[in-house]
């Protein structure tokens, strides 16, 4: 039996994808078993349980599973880096066939680091020739803005947008008295926040943060609209800051990879910055894991992503 099991193993969740010998995903399983909340049996137990009844094929993982607090720490690969560099740096583990782990990437400029996103980008590049020279945005707790040139990852920046939003939403004076369930998405408040960030100039959106409170006291912003206003302000700040950052700006169109609802917010924000966008990409982790497994010799190189059926 040929094929591959790919694992996207992050801080808060574990996703396992069974692929056939052509890289086509046959089945996906998800569990809340991030590296910080493992079940009994730890990493090995989680892997065994989530792959139960699946065939005995090579296994490869990316994400925080390779971090200092993960299963095995796999050193970062420094930029610039592409599929070949990541395949060469694959950590195959002590016994050689239990689980290969993809290394993360380190940007000496910053410095900055990522684990997991590099695999999504490798998958994107493999599937979209237009993305070989692009800016790729992966929104989330720690959003990544990644510059790709000639198919190589040459620069990236992390913006802690999701984490900062969560902190302000849960703990700050700005959201004091706002209901936990503040109601449906308020697109006007969101857009107002994006515009405030955009128009903050070089001073930046954090010089406008307290305006959320002043606007509420003025009656110009209802209490329940504050969270979406803040979401717009912080996402707008990503666009403003990354445009101002020489290394990251300038490669149109932007490619967005991630959760559909979150990407929809980024699409709204992009409109306010007149940024052109490539078609949305929901997830490219499976494609990335397949490419790296193939380039690293874990699966036979002769197999192609586009074949519908591999050799039995």
CB-wise, 73 or 127, nearer to a copy of itself? 73
C-alpha distances (whole Å) from 41 to each of 33, 61, 302 are 11, 18, 37
Q: How many residues bind a copy of itself (CB under 8 A)?
A: 40
Q: Which whole-number Å values give the CA distances from 83 to 215, 288, 296, 305, in the listed order?
A: 48, 9, 9, 15
Cα 234–Cα 117–Cα 231 angle in degrees, nearest 5: 15
Contact between 273 and a copy of itself (CB under 8 A)? no
> Judged by CB, which is closer to a copy of itself: 32, or 201?
201
How many Å apart are CA 212 and CA 208, to the nearest integer? 8
Question: Which residues are CB-contacts of 203 (< 8 A; sequence separation ≥ 6)?
Answer: none
For a copy of itself, give the closer residue by CB, 20 or 117.
Answer: 117
Rounded CA separation 67/195 (Å): 37
| One of 2, 49, 133, 172 touching a copy of itself (CB under 8 A) | 172
Identified binder of a copy of itself from the candidate list 68, 180, 184, 306, rule CB under 8 A: 68
Residue 93 binding a copy of itself, by CB under 8 A: no
Told to check if 202 binds a copy of itself by CB under 8 A, we report yes
Q: Decide: is 142 part of the binding site for a copy of itself (CB under 8 A).
A: yes
Residue corresponding to tokens 């395949």: 87
Q: Does 219 bind a copy of itself (CB under 8 A)?
A: no
Among the listed residues 52, 94, 217, 261, the single contact to a copy of itself using CB under 8 A: 217
Among 31, 72, 213, 251, the residue binding a copy of itself under the rule CB under 8 A is: 213
Q: Which is nearer to a copy of itself, 33 or 156 (CB)?
A: 156
Interface residue with a copy of itself, options 44, 223, 244, 260 (CB under 8 A):
244
Where does this chain touch a copy of itself (CB under 8 A) — which range of 18-26, 83-91, 241-249, 273-281? 241-249
Contact between 167 and a copy of itself by CB under 8 A: the answer reads yes
Does residue 40 touch a copy of itself according to CB under 8 A? no
Cβ of residue 311: shortest distance to a copy of itself, in angstroms? Answer: 42
Under 8 Å between Cβ of 20 and 55: no
Three-class SS state of 164: helix
Cis amide prior to 258 (ω within 30 degrees): no
Name the minimum Å distance from CB 73 to a copy of itself.
10
User: b or e along 238-251 (b: 16 or more beta carbons within 10 Å of the residue's beta carbon)?
Assistant: bbbbbeebeebbeb
Cβ burial 205-224 (10 Å sphere, 16+ → b, else e): beebbebbbebbeeeebeeb
- In this chain, which of 111, 184, 219, 312 binds a copy of itself, going by CB under 8 A? 111
* DSSP state at residue 278: P
Interface residue with a copy of itself among 15, 59, 198, 208 (CB under 8 A) is 208
28 counts as binding a copy of itself under rule CB under 8 A: no
CA distance 276 to 1: 44
Query: CB of 250 within 8 A of CB of 276?
Result: no
Stretch that binds a copy of itself, among 2-10, 183-191, 200-208, 292-300 (CB under 8 A): 200-208
242 binds a copy of itself (CB under 8 A): yes
Count of H-run helices and E-run strands, the chain: 9, 12
**Binding residues for a copy of itself (CB under 8 A):** 68, 106-107, 110-113, 142, 157-160, 163-164, 167-168, 171-173, 201-204, 206-211, 213-215, 217-218, 220, 237, 241-242, 244-245
């Amino acid at each position: 039996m040929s094929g591959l099991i790919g694992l996207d193993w992050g801080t808060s969740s574990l996703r396992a994808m069974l692929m056939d010998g052509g890289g086509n995903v046959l089945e996906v399983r998800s569990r809340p078993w991030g590296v910080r909340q493992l079940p009994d049996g730890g990493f090995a137990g989680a892997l065994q349980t989530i792959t139960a009844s699946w065939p005995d094929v090579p296994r490869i993982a990316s994400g925080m599973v390779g971090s200092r607090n993960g299963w095995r720490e796999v050193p970062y690969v420094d930029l610039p880096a592409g599929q070949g560099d990541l395949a060469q740096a694959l950590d195959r583990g002590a016994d050689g066939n239990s689980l290969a782990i993809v290394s993360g990437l380190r940007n000496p400029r910053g410095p900055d680091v990522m684990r997991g996103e590099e695999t999504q980008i490798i998958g994107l590049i493999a599937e979209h020739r237009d993305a070989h020279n692009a800016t790729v945005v992966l929104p989330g707790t720690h959003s990544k803005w990644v510059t790709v040139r000639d198919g190589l990852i040459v620069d990236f920046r992390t913006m802690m947008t999701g984490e900062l939003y969560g902190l302000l939403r849960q703990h700050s004076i700005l959201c004091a008295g706002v209901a936990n369930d503040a109601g449906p998405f308020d697109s006007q408040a969101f857009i107002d926040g994006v515009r405030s960030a955009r128009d903050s100039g070089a001073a930046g959106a954090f010089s406008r943060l307290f305006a959320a409170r002043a606007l509420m006291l003025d009656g110009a912003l209802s209490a329940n609209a504050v969270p979406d206003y803040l979401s717009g302000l912080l996402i707008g700040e990503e666009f403003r800051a990354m445009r101002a950052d020489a290394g990251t700006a300038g490669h149109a169109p932007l490619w967005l990879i991630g959760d559909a609802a979150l990407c929809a917010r980024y699409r709204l924000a992009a409109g306010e910055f007149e940024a052109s966008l490539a078609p949305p990409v929901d997830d490219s982790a499976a494609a990335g894991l397949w490419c790296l497994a193939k380039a690293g010799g874990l699966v036979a190189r002769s197999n192609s992503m586009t074949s519908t059926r591999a050799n039995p």
